[in-house]
Structure 1
Amino acid sequence: MRKTLMLAGFLLAAAPALADEKPVLTVYAPEYFAGEWGPGQKMAEGFEKTCGCDVKVVGVDVLPRILLEGDKTPADVVVGFTADVMQRAKDTGLFAPHREDLSRLTLPVAWTDDTFLPFDWSETAFVYDKTKVKNPPKSFADLLNAPDDAYKIAIEDPRTSLSGLALLLWVKSVYGDKAPEAWAKLAPKVLTVAPGWSEAYSLFTKGEADMVLSFTTSPAYHIIEEKDDTKAAAIFTEGNYFLAETAAQLKGTKHPELAQKFMDYLLSDDFQGMIGVGNWSYPAVMKPGFLPPEFEALPKAEKTLFLTPEAAEALRAPAIEEWRQAFRK
């Protein structure tokens, strides 16, 4: 009898704690997204207000981690894949359909993928310092045919950086079989090949490089946060390469309903309204008031270049080899 009473007392004492326990949704995201200055924390806080759950945003190199963990991954959702690596991710068979209405998207390209959901986008561009670059290139041809000492450029390694891979496929889209010749002309103008976007952009902001591979929306940060209008993106007549960040839910998630609600949240007004000054990109679903007026002053690409995930994956390995030969990497 005494043991029964003791057990009943223990269960009553434990009940409130058990009732207060919330499910935890684990989101894998790139380091920049999950870090102090990225939108990951605001995203988590916004979703937690609606889900009755806790969100754990884990900063990782997303695709390599998923490939390593396979169906044992603790992730429920991943964010940060681009179209350029979507096919590799899809081939794992680890991801479930997003079940979202894609007609709501306001992208400059057609998007039909039923698994990877875009939540923001921009276009790849060389961002330059107007105080150092008086005659910025207006085309890839201008850039490649300029004297070798005309620019000091920081780019990212396509083997370790999604923006670096975007440059690789941008060159391939413009030059096709002549890409090796294009790389040979560009290489002497490259000051450094950084492992990632953060390292390359840091060299630019420190003044060590006068041009950096980034995005057409990058100058908005300097204009809005620093009141500095000396940074601009070069718009190329051949076109600028489209890059969207996407999210996907894992088939093996322990919280499928929460994962689906999270996908819904990514296209909500609440999250899409954060994108402009949260991730310095364009929202995937544009509505009035989502962007500050400074974005309107940014130059727009005359032509958007985009490779399907299948085409990007088919080109990736040979294009990396062409790049490696030019840079002796």
Structure 2
Amino acid sequence: MVKSFSLALAVLVAGFSGAGYAQDKPTLTAYTYDGFAAEWGPGPLLKAGFEATCNCTLNWVAADSSIGTLRRVQLEGATTEADVLVGLDTAIAGEARATGLFADHGLTLTGLDLPEDWSDSQFVPFDYSHFAFMHDTDTMPVPPKNFEELISLPEDVKIVIQDPRSATPGLGLLLWVKAAYGDRAPEIWAGLKPHILTITREWSESYSLFLEGEADMVLSYTTSPAYHIFDEDDHTIKAALFNEGHFPQIEVAGILKSSDQPELAAQFLAYLASPEGQKAIPTTNWMFPVVDLGADLDPSFADLPQPTKTLTLSEEDIIANSGAWIDEMLAAVQ
């Protein structure tokens, strides 16, 4: 009886106040790329985990790419509905910062495990990997050890890469070549031209061509083999490690200055970088977490070979020169 009375009272109270309560429950709107928000991506897990702590609603709004999310908030400006942007990376963070649309997050980030030190006042990291070319050991048991060896292979060895204007991996490759070869970059691009099967708009198009056997190698990440190990028990897809080093991708999230929920936005970014939030990342976004998860990191990541050398370029250098570097690359390969 007591239990039934309590339930009836709860329903009665909800009838009078439920609408007002729902209106008082804040909503945090996060722009991200489509793979992140997809049902198989980390978005749903992060939504459930964060909503359990915040008494709020987390609303994902997806664009076709991380560059697309930035372009959207640039177009919308101060009128954007976004409170946070999730999925930029360090290659475009400088451009995002220069828009003046992002606020300081105000968080003290400790215990981060990244390829480089982190001290950014506006962007919070949430995953990372290094760019690399995938190969199938059944068809290419011995991959090239650097770009010059790749160039020297027979011209019927084909690679698939992404457009640096629309896909962050494509931009990452551009920066990788520039960081490794400097002024020799046009020479490397010209050497790669005969091997390029196609340049796709997005990563997924490239990777599909590789998996379908249309190309021998595809630009992806050193963590990509973890997916095949975890989901397919396939150990034949490997990342070719280059001895000149690899360029990293560190994905980040930032708070929009125009947000009417800045404290909730900061709370979400703190959750995203926390061990609890980070558990959602590896086997959904197929990247390394930014904190040491210990035994909570899936074994599929345990023995992945990783670069011994990480290449970098300064944010200032990227902002000042990326446009010219893209023109340089396109002139060499088209």
How far did 1:47 drift?
0.7
d(CA) in 1 for partners of 2:181, 2:202: 24
CA distance in 2, matches of 1:294, 1:255: 38
Deviations 1:240-269 (A, max 9, x none): 111010000111111112111101101122
Aligned-residue offset at 1:239: 0.3
Does 1:139 pair with 2:146? yes
Is contact 2:107-2:266 (8 Å) kept? no
Number of aligned residue pairs: 316
1:208-241 CA distance string (max 9 Å, x none):
1221000000000001110111100011110011
Q: In terms of mean alpha carbon deviation, does 140-149 or 269-278 score higher?
A: 140-149
Q: Is the 8 A contact 1:272 1:286 kept in 2?
A: no
Note the 1:200-239 alignment, pairs <5 A.
200-239=206-245
CA distance in 2, matches of 1:303, 1:165: 19
Q: Among residues 185, 188, 194, which one is paired with 2:191 in the alignment? A: 185
Secondary structure of the 2:155 match is: coil
Are positions 1:258 and 2:264 aligned together?
yes
Match of 2:42 among 39, 43, 60: 39
Paired with 1:279 and 1:98, the residues of 2 have a C-alpha distance of: 23
Q: Distance in 1 between matches of 2:18 and 2:153?
A: 70
Shift in Å, 1:285: 1.1
Q: Distance in 1 between matches of 2:16 and 2:101?
A: 37
1:129 aligned to 2:136?
yes
Measure, in 2, the Cα distance between the counterparts of 1:269 and 1:280.
16
Secondary structure of the residue aligned to 2:48 is: helix
In structure 2, what is the equivalent of residue 320 of structure 1? Answer: 326
TM-score (structure 2 length as normaliser): 0.91
Whole-Å separation in 1 of the counterparts to 2:109 and 2:279: 18
What CA distance in whole angstroms lies between the structure 2 residues aligned with 1:40 and 1:173? 32
- SS state of the match for residue 67, structure 1? helix
Distance in 1 between the 2:314 and 2:45 partners?
31
Contact (CA 8 Å) 1:119, 1:283: kept in 2 or not?
yes
Distance 2:222 2:75 in 1: 33
Corresponding residue of 2:55 = 52
* Contact kept? 1:274, 1:290, Cα under 8 Å: no
Counterpart residue number, 2:93:
86
Q: Secondary structure at the match of 1:125?
A: strand
Instruction: Tell me the CA shift for residue 20 of structure 1.
Output: 3.0
1:110 aligns with 2:112: no
What secondary structure does 1:176 align onto?
helix
Structure 2 residue matching 1:305: 3-state secondary structure: coil
Instruction: Work out the CA distance in 2 between the residues paired with 1:98 and 1:16.
Output: 33
* Residues 83, 308 of structure 1: 8 Å contact kept: no
Instruction: Find the counterpart in structure 2 of residue 18 from structure 1.
Output: 20
Distance 1:204 1:126 in 2: 11
Residue 29 of structure 1 pairs with residue 32 of structure 2: yes
Maintained 8 Å contact 1:140/1:236: yes
Question: Which residue of the other structure, out of 178, 199, 205, is the alignment partner of 1:199?
Answer: 205
1:13 Cα deviation after fit: 6.4
For structure 1, list consecutive stretches of 5 or more residues without a partner in the other structure.
Answer: 1-11
The code of the aligned residue for 2:45 comes to K
Give 3-state SS (helix, strand or coil) of 1:184's partner: helix
TM-score by length of 1: 0.93
Residue 286 of structure 1 aligns to a residue whose secondary structure is: coil
For residues 107 and 71 of structure 2, the distance between their equivalents in structure 1, rounded to whole angstroms, comes to 26
Per-residue Cα deviation, 1:69-112 (whole angstroms, up to 9, x for no partner): 11111000001111111111111111111222233211011221
- Amino acid of the structure 1 residue aligned with 2:81: P
Unaligned runs of 5+ in 2: 1-13
Q: Which whole-Å CA distance do the structure 1 matches of 2:315 and 2:76 have between them?
A: 22
The Cα RMSD (Å) is 1.4
**Residue of structure 1 in register with 2:155 after alignment:** 148
